[in-house]
Amino acid sequence: MRRKERKLLFDYLPVFLILLSILLSIYFMVPKVQEIIENSIIKNAIVPSVSKGLDKIILQIEKDASRVGLKELFKNKKFTSWLEDKISIFINDDVKYAYILYFDKDGKIRYLADFSKEDRARYWQTFNAFDSAIEKVLKEKKAVVIKQSDYTGIWLTLIKPIKIDNQVKGAFVIDFSINKLQEIQSILNRIKEFILAVSVFILLSIFVSVYQFIRYKKNLKKMYIDPLTQVYNRLFMYDNMDLLKKNYYTTFIIDIDFFKRINDTYGHDVGDYVLKEVAERLKRCIREDEDILVRYGGEEFLLFIKSNPHSEEYRYNIVQLANRLRTEVSKNVITYNNIKMKVTISIGVALCRENTDIDQMIKLADMALYRAKQNGRNRVEVYDKGLEANDKGIAIIKEAIDKNGIVCWFQPIYNLKTGKAVRYESLVRIVAEDGKLIYPHQFLNAIRRTYVHVDLTKKVIEFNIRTLLDNPKMRISMNLSALDIYNDDIIDYLDFLIINKKLASRLTIEILESEDIEDYEFFKEKIMRIKEIGCSIGIDDFGAGYSNFAHIVELNPEFLKIDGSLIKDIDINKRSIAIVKAIKHFADELGINVIAEYIHSEYILRKVLEVGITYGQGYYLKEPLPLRKRKSA
């Protein structure tokens, strides 16, 4: 990810550099542009405006002077008066001084006539200024235009030679006022100011953009990092799917074994510390710049390892890494406030596959993780062909959902004292296209945490509601997992289908007690929602998980259904009898009914009755059947 950020910044860098170079170019070009504009104005506007008129006058002077001599010509008042009239035509406000100079034999320069409005010189007055331009005119015998220094108050001087017998005897000099230049400079300054303002605006924009970019990066980091473990969160994963697609990644799902037990035993502070420590230990085994560690769920981590699937040792290396991760977490106990905990992890691995999206890879890894847990935890399982069969099973389930192949069979729950069925537990079955029945244990694991599971649950809800509508006296008990209850989509659907409270009162939701209940407060909110709909709550498989009795009480269930594993050997296992009795006692104290499931023999039935349990179900009493068959039976 760091590499990605660097790359992003690197992508922006040329834009900043181009903008900066444009600004620098503008900055350096302005004086040059100013000079070009000034020269253009001089060449095309200022000089031509007087030059043509001046040329005609100079021709006349040269003509007359060739007869009487230049010095003598200007003694003639009539001539100078005529000259002044002529010159006044083209002398405008831009002209500050206009005068005629005479170069005598001694090299002295004197005024012959001066038509200036101010500083007017007298005839024959010495012109002793330091003006190298005059020397240039004498030498080159051509008109010269020179720019004057600012302090002179003159912008330009135009010097046109007056030639007699091809000798430069004098010069007509026009000094242009600096006012014109100041006007031009004022316009150019405005342009310069405008460019400056634009440049400042662009610069500010760049600064603001860079600032926003940095802030965005900081926020992005906050947004994408799980505050507890300091690893990436789910959002990061979803927002960076493209990055994951571009490269080969091997997907790991890592689950902390018995984490719920840690939380329940030692409290959330300890649980949080364990999560942090496990994340830290996992990070030690991976490459910071290459691999991506994501906190996927409560105690679940997703790990994407950048891999080369074409390498001969690919599978071997991945399994080695997974075992290294497992060992790294478990080799040292985690100590928090003198509490020492031996923490282990289970890892499911999905190896790189062509044309498989990330979601699918996660599902495959999840299936492998599930098998790792089933096989005793603290182990690594790689998704393989055996699991692939399950994967194919998903397709069959999808098809069944699409083609209404989802059915529910019903097993009665009896009042063992009266022998009357008080409700029916709804049990899902899939009818495959070939007519074969598929039982839950054959497909539920494969579709866990998939949309197929959600769709299946919705179909089951539909089926049960329809059955309740068709059978107004029937009461149904339907199983939902904690994940189903967390899913608003499913609960909204239930709410939508239940048309009235009376119908709702005939439906009980049996919650499968499991480790998926991470946050009881949140879970309780969801249960309250179901109760508001009007359904009652039952706890299924009670005694099999890691029940916190206090939490169970808070859910205020209508009944507890004792797990089948305890009932099935109640006849031979004293421990089972003791647990069942304890549950019964606990339930009686709280006024909760107890149901014994898995009653598969008369002896078991007798034992159940001995313990004082009133309600029961099982193959001995009645097997699950489709409703049609049950009615006829």
Partner 1 sequence: MLRQVTIFLLICFSVAFSEEAVKKIESMIISRISSVVTGKQYRIKTYATDNMKYIFKYSKILIPSYECDKADIVIAGEQLKNKDCEKKVMIVTKYYLLRNYKNAVAAFYWYKGRPNILFIKERLERFGINLPEKYKKYTDSEKDL
Residue 124 binds partner 1 (CB under 8 A): yes
Distance CA(315)–CA(321), nearest Å, equals 10
Longest alpha-carbon distance in the chain: 157
Considering the complex, state which of residue 94 and residue 541 has its C-beta at the smaller distance from partner 1: 94
Considering the complex, state which of residue 178 and residue 452 has its C-beta at the smaller distance from partner 1: 178
Least Å distance, CB 75 to partner 1, is 14
How far, in Å, are 1, 7, 19, 269, 298 from residue 225 at the CA level?
A: 12, 20, 34, 20, 15
Query: Within positions 79 to 108, which residues make up the interface with partner 1, using CB under 8 A?
Result: 96-97, 99, 107-108
Tell which one of 34, 80, 125, 573 touches partner 1 (CB under 8 A).
125
Residue 623 binds partner 1 (CB under 8 A): no
Residue 289 binds partner 1 (CB under 8 A): no
Strands of 390-519 (E only): list them: 406-415, 420-431, 437-438, 476-480, 507-512
Which residue stretch of 16-24, 117-125, 162-170, 221-229 sits at the interface with partner 1 (rule: CB under 8 A)?
117-125
Which residue stretch of 123-131, 221-229, 232-240, 351-359 sits at the interface with partner 1 (rule: CB under 8 A)?
123-131
Residue 129 binds partner 1 (CB under 8 A): yes
Distance CA(361)–CA(383), nearest Å, equals 10
Residue 179 binds partner 1 (CB under 8 A): no
Residue 148 binds partner 1 (CB under 8 A): yes
Residue 34 binds partner 1 (CB under 8 A): no
The CB-based long-range contact list for 229-233 (8 Å cut-off, 24+ gap) reads: 229/275, 229/276, 229/278, 229/279, 229/295, 230/276, 230/279, 231/279, 231/282, 231/283, 231/293, 231/294, 231/295, 231/301, 232/1, 232/292, 232/293, 232/294, 232/295, 233/294, 233/295
Considering the complex, state which of residue 148 and residue 556 has its C-beta at the smaller distance from partner 1: 148
Residue 495 identity: D
Residue 172 binds partner 1 (CB under 8 A): no
Least Å distance, CB 30 to partner 1, is 16
Considering the complex, state which of residue 195 and residue 483 has its C-beta at the smaller distance from partner 1: 195
Tell which one of 130, 165, 166, 575 touches partner 1 (CB under 8 A).
130
Residue 419 binds partner 1 (CB under 8 A): no
Residue 150 binds partner 1 (CB under 8 A): yes
How far, in Å, are 46, 49, 59, 94, 332 from residue 158 at the CA level?
A: 10, 12, 16, 12, 96
End-to-end CA distance of the chain: 65
Contact 327, 306 (CB under 8 A): no
Number of residues binding to partner 1, judged by CB under 8 A: 24
Tell which one of 25, 44, 152, 230 touches partner 1 (CB under 8 A).
152
Site string for partner 1, 223-262 (x = CB under 8 A): ----------------------------------------
Residue 185 binds partner 1 (CB under 8 A): no
Running DSSP on this structure, what letter comes out for residue 119?
Answer: S
Tell which one of 110, 160, 379, 568 touches partner 1 (CB under 8 A).
110
Distance CA(479)–CA(157), nearest Å, equals 105
Mutual angle of helices 488-497 and 520-533, in 10-degree steps: 10
Please, is 309 exposed, middle or buried when counting C-beta atoms within 10 Å of its C-beta (0-12, 13-18, 19+)? middle
Q: Closest Cα partner for 127 from 148, 113, 138?
A: 113
Tell which one of 41, 51, 53, 131 touches partner 1 (CB under 8 A).
131
Tell which one of 31, 48, 69, 153 touches partner 1 (CB under 8 A).
153
Between CA 543 and CA 395, with CA 479 as vertex, the angle to 5 degrees is 120
Which residue stretch of 27-35, 152-160, 434-442, 545-553 sits at the interface with partner 1 (rule: CB under 8 A)?
152-160
Please name the residue that has the structure tokens 């839950």. 440
Residue 154 binds partner 1 (CB under 8 A): yes
Contact 19, 206 (CB under 8 A): yes
Residue 602 binds partner 1 (CB under 8 A): no
Query: Within positions 495 to 514, which residues make up the interface with partner 1, using CB under 8 A?
Result: none
How far, in Å, are 112, 161, 162, 264 from residue 169 at the CA level?
A: 11, 8, 6, 116
Tell which one of 119, 359, 433, 610 touches partner 1 (CB under 8 A).
119
Distance CA(319)–CA(605), nearest Å, equals 49
Considering the complex, state which of residue 99 and residue 236 has its C-beta at the smaller distance from partner 1: 99
Residue 50 binds partner 1 (CB under 8 A): no
Q: Which chain residues interact with partner 1 by CB under 8 A?
A: 96-97, 99, 107-108, 110, 116, 119, 121, 124-131, 148, 150-154, 175
